Structures are given as structure tokens and as C-alpha cells.
Structure 1
Amino acid sequence: MAKKNYVIDTSVFLSDADCIFRFHNNDIFIPLKVLEEIDKHKKRQDSVGLQARRFIRHLDTFRTKGSLNGGIRIQKGKGIIKVCKGSDLLPESLDPAVPDHVILSSALLVQKEWDKRRTIMVSRDINMRVIADSIGLGAESYETEKVVADAHKLYSGFEQVVVDDQLIDQFYNDEEVILPLDLARQQKIRLYPNQFLMLVSSSNQKKTALCRFDSHTNPVKKVKDFNNDLQWGVYPRNKEQSFAFDLLFDDEIPLVSLIGKAGSGKTLIAIAAAMEQVLAFPSQNIDSARYKKIVVSRPVQPLGKDIGFLPGSMHEKMLPWLMPIQDNMQFILGNDRTMLKAYLETGEIEIEALTYIRGRSISNAFIIIDEAQNLTAHEVKTIITRVGENTKVVLTGDIEQIDNIYTNETSNGLAYAVEKFKSKKLSGHVTFQKGERSKIATLASKIL
């Protein structure tokens, strides 16, 4: 295969600082303007800042082996890495003061000096790839690690299994029902711990039963009905919400992920379950004293800035980002702002900035991370590794609404957690299918 020259854009390094080791035996060129842009991000306290600092350390290590200006061998079996300057080769219609155009001018210079090789501009910026192609440069995107090939193939936490009619009768008669591995293989499906199943009769498709799978050697479990024990007035309206409550009230499952479109109730259900287990009176089936506090947070990704840029205390800085969670809490509390304020003051409800969660060990808490689709895999790992004894983490989000430009539907932290933990008994996942906010909200999510 012919050797190529890859000119790498800033957006690539800010999503994966280790990308320089992933281009096989091809040469990598880094425009000086990219180094300048990387420097502007190195002090950020999020995954982008982490990647910027990691990339700078990589270059500093290479620098000890030779000259970045002359080119340095990356490692055995790899190409060289070299820093290149801008040029005056841009078409007149492109403004040379625009940073992206300066980077493209560097790529044009590489293409001119290495005319026997193909030069490819690598960027995660769609428009930059379009411009590169328009001025005669090869252009490719860069994808970080995908946990699934397609977003539609993401683990849903639900499966239909066709069984003999008598098995469903046994299930409703409270007899043990075990689903052998051969049954799953015959139907070409794979079952995971804490996956919810709809058992469908082979002789009557309308005869069904809902249950939770454990293993091929243990009986399936009934989905628990908590309606008589719920004190805050939030009840499941569909089977997915019932599935979610079954996981959220299970002390043996410390990690729960909930994915669903806007209005599906994922955040409301998570908050309601947290309040039932922290702020309610003891009941027969719910241990309301298991957790000492509710910790809520969500990424501040939409502005791409650290919360330190906002005025006030950390609580005041986080409030604009946590308004959706606060709205849900006030809805559950009957719009009682005084009660919510009291819970915040006593520490029973705690607002935490993801930016500063590193280094903490959070015990005896019910943690809710909303909009988790805007997190990277590294950030999700940081959150989950903060979990101490007797703590549950709930990740909620919609992988179709991603504001983080450095991740996508198949590589975001929420999808990463769902796929990596699906085979583990300590986790459970539910994908919400139906909107429950209002008829117009549900219709809008379908047709707009």
C-alpha cells in the first residue's frame, strides 16, 4: 500500500491525543497553527483539556528524540511526525486570517512538496473537509473508538423471547421459569443479566409475560410493582418506566443507564426514585434510609467552558445547567420552592460540578448524571470510579441529542457505558420508547 501524508487538524487531537499512533506507516504533519490552537485549550478542566495536555506531552517526548521541524520517527513500524508551516498557496477567495484556512495552507504546502504521495487533510470539522476537497486536497474524518457500528444497534435492555405456552402459565403461577442457553441460540438472540424480556407464547402471540433475566441457570424474576409504596406521586405510565423503577429500587444494581427521547420521563423517573429512597418515610418494599443524599449533575458542554467563567458560588454556577432537574424536582414537590431550598441547605440534595468530581469518593449517595450523552468515555469512567460504598449511579440521556462536538452517537460516554456494562450483573439498562410529557411533545419528537 502506497505511503500517505496525513495533515491533522486541531479537532482530531482534542478528541484523541493518541491518534498519532493510529496512522500505521504513514507520515503525520502538524501545522504550527494547530499547536497554537491546542495551547488555548490546555487549561480546560474537561476531557478536551485533558487531551490537549496529553498531546503536548507526546510532542515533548518526541522532541527529546530529534527535531520536530525535521521529522521524528514515531516508533518502529510507524511513519514520521513533523511540524509544518503555513503557506501562501490558498486561493484568493479564502481569508488567510481564518485559522482553519491557515491549516489548509499548510496541507497545500505538504501536497506541493510531496507531489508523489497523496496528501490527506484529517478533520472532524465537516465544513473544513468540504473546503479541503474543494481546493484539491484529499479529506477524511476521524472517528474515535466506536462501541457499536450503528446507533440503532446499541443495547436496548429489552428482548422478546418465544416460549412454550405452559412456561407462561408457570410464570404466572409463581413457579420457577428458567430459559436455557439452547433456547436463546435457537432464536439467534443473546440474553444479558438484568435484561427485561417479554415472553411470548408460541401458540398465542397475545399471551405474554414481562420479566427480568438473570442467567441461563437461574429463574427469571418478576418486574416488581412499587405503586402502593410510592409516596411522591410519580408512577410508571408504561412498561419501560416500570422496568426503570425495578432497576432503580434494586439495591444489588449500583449502575443504571436510561436512554430515551425528550419527554420519555427518564430524568423524572430517576429523580422520583432517588427521592423515594432518600426523602420519603419508610415503607414495606422501599428502603427510604438506604442513601443519605441525592447528588445531581450534568455536563456544562454546550458553551464549551469551565463553570468558573460563571459568577457566584459553585451552587449558583451550576443552577442554570441544572434547571431541567430542578424543574422535575419542583414538579414532584408540587412547585414548593421552599422545600427544595431546605433540602439543598441540609445537604440531602447536593449539586455537584462534574468538573471537580475527580478525587472524590462519594458514599451513601444516589447520584444522577443527566445529559450523559455529552460526556466522553473518559469522563464517564471518572464518574463511575468515584463511587464509594452503598452508592448508586444513574446515567440518563438521549444519544440523538449530542452537543459535544468531540463525540457522536456511537462513541459518547453514555453509549460506552451501556455497551461495556451490559454483560455485568452490577448494571442494568432501559431504553425508553414512548413520550409521556404531553401529546404535543410526543408528536413533535416524531414529526420534526
Structure 2
Amino acid sequence: MIKTYILDTNVLLHDPLSIYSFADNKVVIPAVVLEEIDTKKRLTDEIGRNAREVARLLDKLREQGKLHEGVEMPNKGQMVVELNHRSHEQLEKHGLEKTNDNRILAIALNLKEEASDPRSVVLITKDALLRVKADALGLPAEDFLSDHVSQFDHIYKGYSESWIESDTMDRLFENRSLSLKEAGIKETFPHHFYIFRDTVNQSRSALAMADESMQKLELFLGESEGIWGIRPRNVQQRMAMELLTRKDIPLVTLVGKAGTGKTLLALACGMYLTEDKQLFKKLLVTRPVVPVGKDIGYLPGEKDEKLRPWMQPIYDNLEFLFNTKKDTELEDILAGMSSVQVEALTYIRGRSIPDQFIIIDEAQNLTKHEVKTIITRVGEGSKVVLMGDPKQIDHPYLDEYTNGLSYVIERMKHLTISGHMKFEKGERSGLAQLAADLL
């Protein structure tokens, strides 16, 4: 059965290529959607970029015929810009005003009235309240889900826990490695960690990590002495420290609740590789400028003074690492070292960043396009660390399924150049851990 999908404005602004996501079905764009997109095309952010991309895609399709009559798309589906079916009689029965959202509803309802099977007409919108109204009017409505990755609770963790026999555990310690078959594992990912526990002696355990060939598990001892005064407090931090200090893993992703030690651990490892080991020329630390709650508006001063409130969480961790109590002391240290650079992501476009240890904090507030822009800035010999908590998103157009951090984790987990770790235990304080779990 060929279905008819009516796309809301927010779907196209979220992903311009969404018009190609409905196989050989009919895709309808109401004229009011084009009007709303037209108001966004002059914006300088990603919404504006997507609006302009939608215009380009539709203009290219226009070369094949008249859009209001319908043109065939490469996936054998049909694209129609709907100019008819604008009657508001259906809405007036329910006392709904002629707002843009209700105009989209009117077109969808009128198409449904003409369809041989009413279930074949579906409204696609990311607006939850519009889906509620559509449902109340008996109109099928769905969210746009084709770009969703796994739910955060099911997202790739970077490690697994497993029980093995005592003799298998003995072979692991004796040979310092196991084959996947010996460990009873069918398949794995590069740099995936395993926490093995003895089926007989339950207090006996071992850590192993899959090699790049994904055919062998190597015994992992890990760093327990600490780096720059920071010692791993749990097994996830030990495993993450291994990923962070490996030069041959240029992409590392870390996720975890607030207070699990992601930023502090990454900074300590970055300072160690940059200052002590001299493996990188600079340590670049940055985060997206997205406010929590209402924005406080423009800030006074020069660029560095304007950025200081946004970058303060990074400076807090640096103060802890350098054991300083005053901002002036930290500024003097950073000025003397000259290898630590703290910036906002706003200024990263167009750069090429070779031989640097790059930390992107709060990466859950990045879109797929932004995270692609960042990673494609990484030059030869650099290492990039993306970290954040997909459950604490401040960006108005993202959620835990569509943010850039979750997207990178799921799309890159099978590559030998990447490593990932999900932190489970909070180490900031007992109160912070309870708040992260219960609130």
C-alpha cells in the first residue's frame, strides 16, 4: 500500500534529506511549510543552513517537473508541494483557529478524506503537541525517527561483564590473552573491554580488551597509580584512562552522568600526553555555548572575558589539577605553559588542528552536522575526545536519540581508530550521585 506522508516544517529543518526517507511512498509538503522555511533561510545557525538546503533540494527536483503536480524522486517515491486541499471546514468543526500548525492539519485531514484507506495518510512532525492534536482528530501522526540512534539506556557501553570457567581464567592470566572462542564470545568491537568473573571463585576477576583484529582478547592491567595526581576510582575510569592515553586511538567518546569524572580524567590525560610525554603540541579544550535555562544575554569585555563564564567548568577542573585557589594563579600558569588553549566551539569552523589533544566537553549539545564539522577539523597526529551526558541536553532541538554524541558513538564503534566508555558511578560526591540517580 502506497502511503502519503505530510511533512511538518520542523522535520525539514531538522534533516533536509528527510524527503528521501520514505521509500517509494508519496511525500507531501504543504505550501505553508515552504512559507515557514522561507522565514528561516537568513539565519546564520544550523536552522538557517538546513532551510537553505531544503530550498536547494526542492529547486533541483523542480527541474524534473512541476512540484505541485508531483515529481518522481531517486528512490521511486513521489514529491508533491500541496497547494490545494486547504479548506478549513474540518478544523472549524472543532473550533480550531487558522494557525500555521492548524493549516498543516487541515491539509492532512482533507487528504485523508479523499484517500481510499484513511490509515494511508500520516502526518510526520517532531512537534509532540501537534501529534496530540492530530490524534484527537483521528489523524495518524508520527515522529521522524529515521535518524534516531539507540536509546541512551541501550547505547553502546564500551565494556561487557561475563562469567568464565576457572581454567579459562587461568589461561588468560598464563597466556595474557584469550581467543574469542575460548571466552565464549561470538563477536566484538575494537578496544572493547571485558570484565570476567570466575564462576567458582566469585571474588576472582580479570580485565581484558579486544585487539584491533577483533579476534583476540588481551589481558588488561591498566593504570592504577594515577596521572597528574588523578587516580582512577573505579573500573570504568581505569578503562577510560587506557583509551585516553593511547596515541593509536585518535577518537575517544565518553558518556556518563554528572560527576562521573569525565572532564577531569580527560584533562589529566591530556596534560600528561602534552606536557609530560610531549606527544602533542597543544591541549585544546572547548565546549558548545548553550545556556542552561534562560540566556543572560550579551556579556561585557573582550573575547576571552565574554567566554570565561561559559568555559568556567573547564577552569574549575584545571584549578583542581594545578591545586590553585585563585583565578590569577591559574591564568599565570596557563600563560606560562602556552600549550593549553581553552576556546568556544564557535570559532572552530575553517580550522585545521594537527598534533593536538582536543577535548570537546558537553558534546551532547551538538547536532550531527556540528559534530561532523568538528571531527573533520582534526588534523594529522591529533586526538579528539568527545564527552557528555545524553540525558542532560540543553539544546532546544535535540534529544537523547538525535544528539551528535550518541550519533558518533553508534556510527564509529566498529572502527579500529575509536574507543568508547560509559561511566556508571558518580565520584563527585554522595549528594551529586543521588541527584543524578533520583532527580
- TM class by shorter chain equals 0.7 to 0.9
The CA RMSD over aligned residues, in Å, is 3.1
- Counterpart of 1:412 in structure 2 is 403
Candidates 221, 224, 237, aligned match of 1:223: 221
Distance 1:65 1:425, change over 3 A: closer
Q: Distance in 1 between matches of 2:299 and 2:193?
A: 43
Q: Shift of the alpha carbon at 1:313?
A: 5.1
Quick check: 36-45 or 260-269, which moved more? 36-45
The answer to whether 1:152 aligns with 2:142 is no
Distance 1:276 1:140, change over 3 A: same
Taking the TM superposition and a 5 Å limit, the aligned residue runs for 1:102-251 are 102-112=103-113, 118-148=120-150, 150-166=151-167, 168-169=169-170, 175-184=174-183, 186=184, 188=185, 190-214=187-211, 215=213, 220-225=218-223, 227=225, 230-231=227-228, 233-251=229-247
The answer to whether 1:7 aligns with 2:6 is yes
Q: Shift of the alpha carbon at 1:348?
A: 2.7
> Does structure 2 retain, via aligned residues, the 8 Å contact 1:25–1:77?
yes
Q: Distance in 1 between matches of 2:311 and 2:163?
A: 43
Q: Shift of the alpha carbon at 1:391?
A: 1.2
The answer to whether 1:332 aligns with 2:333 is no
Q: Distance in 2 between matches of 1:191 and 1:411?
A: 25
The answer to whether 1:437 aligns with 2:428 is yes
What is the identity percentage for the equivalent residue pairs of Structure 1 and Structure 2?
42
Candidates 257, 260, 267, aligned match of 2:256: 260
Q: Shift of the alpha carbon at 1:261?
A: 0.8
Taking the TM superposition and a 5 Å limit, the aligned residue runs for 1:268-417 are 268-279=264-275, 282=276, 287=277, 289-301=278-290, 314-333=303-322, 334-342=324-332, 347-417=338-408
Unaligned residue ranges in structure 2 (runs of 5+): none
Distance 1:130 1:216, change over 3 A: closer
Q: Shift of the alpha carbon at 1:22?
A: 2.1
Q: Distance in 1 between matches of 2:146 and 2:305?
A: 34
- Counterpart of 2:48 in structure 1 is 49
Taking the TM superposition and a 5 Å limit, the aligned residue runs for 1:93-108 are 93-96=95-98, 98-108=99-109
Q: Which amino acid aligns with 1:59?
A: L
Quick check: 19-28 or 315-324, which moved more? 315-324
Q: Shift of the alpha carbon at 1:24?
A: 2.9
Q: Distance in 2 between matches of 1:307 and 1:194?
A: 42
What per-residue deviation string (whole Å, max 9, x for no partner) do you get for residues 359-396 of structure 1?
32101211111121222333322222221122111110
Unaligned residue ranges in structure 1 (runs of 5+): none
Q: Distance in 1 between matches of 2:296 and 2:245?
A: 32
Q: Which amino acid aligns with 2:163?
A: V
Aligned residues: 432
Q: Which amino acid aligns with 1:128?
A: L
Distance 1:262 1:132, change over 3 A: same
Q: Which amino acid aligns with 1:5?
A: T
The answer to whether 1:88 aligns with 2:88 is yes
Q: Distance in 2 between matches of 1:235 and 1:132?
A: 54
Q: Distance in 2 between matches of 1:49 and 1:351?
A: 28
**What's the secondary structure of 1:402's corresponding residue?**
coil
Distance 1:33 1:302, change over 3 A: farther
Q: Distance in 1 between matches of 2:308 and 2:348?
A: 17
Q: Which amino acid aligns with 2:249?
A: I
> Does structure 2 retain, via aligned residues, the 8 Å contact 1:234–1:269?
yes
Distance 1:390 1:417, change over 3 A: same
Q: Which amino acid aligns with 1:157?
A: G
- Counterpart of 1:37 in structure 2 is 36
Q: Distance in 1 between matches of 2:301 and 2:134?
A: 44
Q: Which amino acid aligns with 1:323?
A: Q
